[in-house]
Structure 1
Amino acid sequence: MRIAINGFGRIGRTILRQVLSEPARGIEVARINDIATPEMCAYLFQFDSTFGPYPGKVEARDGLLILDGRGMTLSRADNLSQIDLSGVDVVLECTGIARTSDVARRGLAAGAKSVLISGPSPAAELTLVRGANDALLGDERVISNASCTTNALAPLVRVLDEIGGVERGHMTTIHCYTNSQPMVDAPRDDFARSRGGAQSMVPTTSSAMHLIDEVLPELAGRLTGSALRVPVASVSAIDLVVQLRDAMSADVFDEALREAVTASPVLGWTDQPLVSSDLRARPESLVVAGPETRFVDGQARVFGWYDNEWGFSARMLDVAAMLAARG
C-alpha cells in the first residue's frame, strides 16, 4: 500500500511512527506534505512530548525527511492538487481543513485513488468507523475516519445493542486537552473553551454525538452526550450509561460483554486497575475497564480508556488498508 500524508501534525506524525514500527504491514510512504519547514517537521517528529523521542536517526535534507537512512519525499505545497500523487493508493488527509469538497478532493485531483480524512467532514461521501459500520464501504473515494471519540464509542454501542438492544443512553467523554484550547485564557468561540486547557476541567460538547447518529442510524436519537476536557496531555475515557431492552442477569451481561469485546477487531479489555497513563500508545479504539462495569435492572454502565491519538491513528491505517484493497 502506498500512502501520502497531507498535514504532519499530531495525527500525521503518529501515523508515520506506527508505519515505521510495523514494517511487516508493507506500507510505503510516498510523500509527506506540510507547510512547516523541513527542519521543523524533522524536529517535531524526533522529539515528541507525548510519545517520547524517536529511537532512530532523523534528518531533513534535499527535500527529504530521512529516517534511519530511509528518505521520504517532503513537500510544502499549500494546495495538494499541485503535487503529482500518481500511484498513491490513499491520501491520509490530516490537515484538519478538509471541510469543503474542493479541498477534500485535492488528493484525487493530484492522482491518488482515495482520500481518508482524519476527522469529521461534511465533504466526505461516507463516515466510516472500523468495528461499527465498515461493512457499508462501497466505491466512495472521499471517506471520513470520524473522530477519536466516535471511534471509541460506536463499536461499543454496536456491541451493547447486539447484546441486549440499546433503548437510550448518555455518554460522557473525559477528554485530554487538545490544540483547539488555549494554554492560558484566550478568546474562543466557546466561552468555556476560552479558558486555559492545562489549568481547569472544562465542560463542553462532543462531535461524537451527531456522528454516532450518522454511523449507527438505526440508533439515531437514542443517545445523548457531553465532554469534559481535563488537564492531561494524553489518553481519554468514555463513561457510557445505557438502558437495554432485553432482560438478563448481571452475570449474563458481564459474560456477554466480555466475549463481544474480546471478539471485536478494535476493542480491548482489561481487568487491571489502570489509570490513564497506562494506556498511552495502545492501538485499540477503546479498552473497556472490567472493574468499572456495572449492570442493574437493565441499566449498564461501561467505562473505557482510549489513546485519542495513537488509537485513532491505528484506525486511519486500518481503514486506509481497506480502501487500498478494493483498488
Structure 2
Amino acid sequence: MTVRVAINGFGRIGRTVLRAWATRGLWPGIEIVAVNDIASAEDCAYLFEYDSVFGPFPGRVELRPGALAVDGRVLRLTRAADISTLDLADIDVVMECTGKADTVEMSGRGLAAGARRVLISGPSEAAEFTVVLGANDEGLGPDFRVVSNASCTTNALAPLLRVLDGALGVDSGWMTTIHCYTGSQPTVDAPRGDPARSRAAALSMVPTTSSAQRLLDRVLPQLAGRVMGAAVRVPVASVSAVDLTVTTRAAADAAEVNAILRGAAGNVIGWTDRPLVSSDLRARGESIVMALPETVRTPGGTLRVFGWYDNEWGFSNRMLDVALRMGGFRDGP
C-alpha cells in the first residue's frame, strides 16, 4: 500500500517535508505526488534547491511543464489560491502547510478537493484531533479526517513528559523553550501586535508565549494544569531547546533519570552524552534529543532536564510519520 500525499503550502515546513522524504529514504510507503503554492514555479524550485539552513539540495531539481522533478520523481505543481478548486481525488493525505487552516472551511478545502484526509502542520482549532507521536498517538483513528500535528515544541515536550510521568509521576512543572526566530518575527523593528515580538529577530532575545502550554493540556489531559511554560526567541536560525523542571512523586537521581531517557530512545526521543551546541543538532530527525549531561536533581527534589530539537526538520519528519499512519486507515470515512 502506498500513501499518496499532496503538500499545500511550500514554505519552511512544506519544503522541509519534501527534502526529508526525498533524502532520508525512511518512508517507502509514502509517495509525494503534488505541491500547491501561490508562489511562482521558479520561486518554488529555487527555494527548495537552495536552503539557507539545510544547504543545497543534494540531488537534481528541475522544472517541467506543470511539474517539479526531484531526483527524477515528478510532482505536479499548481498555483491555486484555494486548493478546493483542484482535483485531488487521487490523494490520501493533504499536508496543509499554509499556516492558515484555522477555520473548518479552510482546513476542509483538501477534503472538498477530493482528498481522503488532511494533516495540518501546526495548531488548529478546526482539527478533529491533535496528535503528537509518542504522547497520544494511540488515540489517532480512522474517524478523524482533519488532524493537527500540534507544534514543534509540543512534539518535543509532550513525549518527554509522558515518559517522565509514566516512570516517576509528574506533580508540576515549568518549561522554557529557547526557540530560534521564525518568519512570524520581523527582520527589522516593525509592528507585530506584541511589542517584544515587534523587535528585530536576529538582534535580541525576545521573551514571549508558547502554544505548547495550551496544546499540552489537550494532548496529555492527565497533566492538564500541572505544567506551564513560556518561550524565549533567540537570534539563531535553526534548532531550539526545551528546558524543563518538574517535581515528581517518585525520587530518582540524575543517573536513574538518564537511564529512563535512554530506555525511551527511538525515532521520537533521542539522547546525547556529548557537550553539543545547537548547530550540532541541525537536521536531527527526532522530536527531541536529550542532553544527558544537563540532567540535575536538586537537593530539594526538583528535577531539571534539557533537550534539543530541530524545530523544522524533526517536526517535518513527524508530519511524514503521521501521514503514513493516517493514510493506512482504509476503513474510515
Common topology (TM > 0.5): yes
CA contact (8 A) 1:15 1:313 kept: yes
Q: Give the match's secondary structure for 2:231.
A: strand
**Structure 1 gap segments, 5+ residues each:** none
Q: Do the aligned partners of residues 275 and 249 (structure 1) sit closer, same or farther apart at CA in structure 2, a change above 3 Å counting? A: closer
CA apart distance, 1:24: 5.7
Identify the match of residue 203 of structure 1 among 201, 207, 213: 207
Q: Which residue of 1 aligns with 2:294?
A: 292
- The CA deviation string for residues 112-160 of structure 1, in whole angstroms up to 9 with x for no partner, is 1110000000000000000000001121000000000000000000001
CA apart distance, 1:299: 1.6
- The CA deviation string for residues 205-263 of structure 1, in whole angstroms up to 9 with x for no partner, is 00000000000001000011010000000100000000001234444333223323x2x
The letter of the residue matching 1:14 is: T
Q: Which residue of 1 aligns with 2:117?
A: 114
Identify the match of residue 173 of structure 1 among 177, 200, 210: 177
CA apart distance, 1:204: 0.4
Instruction: Confirm or deny that 1:158 pairs with 2:162.
Output: yes
CA contact (8 A) 2:261 2:290 kept: no
Q: Which residue of 1 aligns with 2:16?
A: 14
Map 1:38-77 to 2 at 5 A: 38-77=41-80
Distance in 1, matches of 2:17 and 2:161, equals 26
Q: Which residue of 1 aligns with 2:273?
A: 271
Q: Which residue of 2 aligns with 1:144?
A: 148
- The CA deviation string for residues 294-318 of structure 1, in whole angstroms up to 9 with x for no partner, is 1134321000000000000000000
Distance in 1, matches of 2:203 and 2:184, equals 15
Please give the root-mean-square deviation of Cα atoms over the aligned residues, in Å.
1.2
- The CA deviation string for residues 141-199 of structure 1, in whole angstroms up to 9 with x for no partner, is 00000000000000000001011110000000000000000001001111000000001
The letter of the residue matching 1:243 is: T
Identify the match of residue 232 of structure 2 among 228, 235, 242: 228
Instruction: Confirm or deny that 1:128 pairs with 2:131.
Output: yes
Distance in 2, matches of 1:313 and 1:201, equals 25
Number of aligned positions between the proteins? 325
The letter of the residue matching 2:117 is: S
Could you state the TM-score of these two structures normalised by the residue count of structure 1? Answer: 0.97
Distance in 1, matches of 2:271 and 2:42, equals 40
Instruction: Confirm or deny that 1:309 pairs with 2:302.
Output: no
Q: Give the match's secondary structure for 2:56.
A: coil
Q: Do the aligned partners of residues 125 and 221 (structure 1) sit closer, same or farther apart at CA in structure 2, a change above 3 Å counting? A: same
Q: Give the match's secondary structure for 1:25.
A: coil
The letter of the residue matching 2:184 is: S
Q: Percent identity?
A: 63
Q: Do the aligned partners of residues 250 and 61 (structure 1) sit closer, same or farther apart at CA in structure 2, a change above 3 Å counting? A: closer
Identify the match of residue 319 of structure 1 among 317, 322, 325: 322
The letter of the residue matching 2:80 is: A
CA contact (8 A) 2:42 2:63 kept: yes
Distance in 2, matches of 1:182 and 1:226, equals 20
Q: Give the match's secondary structure for 1:256.
A: helix
Moved more, 98-107 or 49-58: 49-58
Distance in 1, matches of 2:128 and 2:158, equals 19
CA contact (8 A) 1:173 1:226 kept: yes
Distance in 1, matches of 2:283 and 2:81, equals 30
Runs of 4+ aligned residues of structure 1 deviating over 4 Å after TM superposition are none
Q: Do the aligned partners of residues 72 and 248 (structure 1) sit closer, same or farther apart at CA in structure 2, a change above 3 Å counting? A: closer
CA contact (8 A) 2:27 2:320 kept: no
Identify the match of residue 221 of structure 2 among 217, 220, 228: 217
Distance in 1, matches of 2:255 and 2:13, equals 39
Identify the match of residue 84 of structure 1 among 59, 83, 87: 87
**Structure 2 gap segments, 5+ residues each:** none
Q: Which residue of 2 aligns with 1:254?
A: 258
Distance in 2, matches of 1:305 and 1:47, equals 25
Could you state the TM-score of these two structures normalised by the residue count of structure 2? Answer: 0.95
Distance in 2, matches of 1:64 and 1:258, equals 44
Distance in 1, matches of 2:82 and 2:209, equals 31
CA apart distance, 1:31: 0.9
CA contact (8 A) 2:267 2:285 kept: no
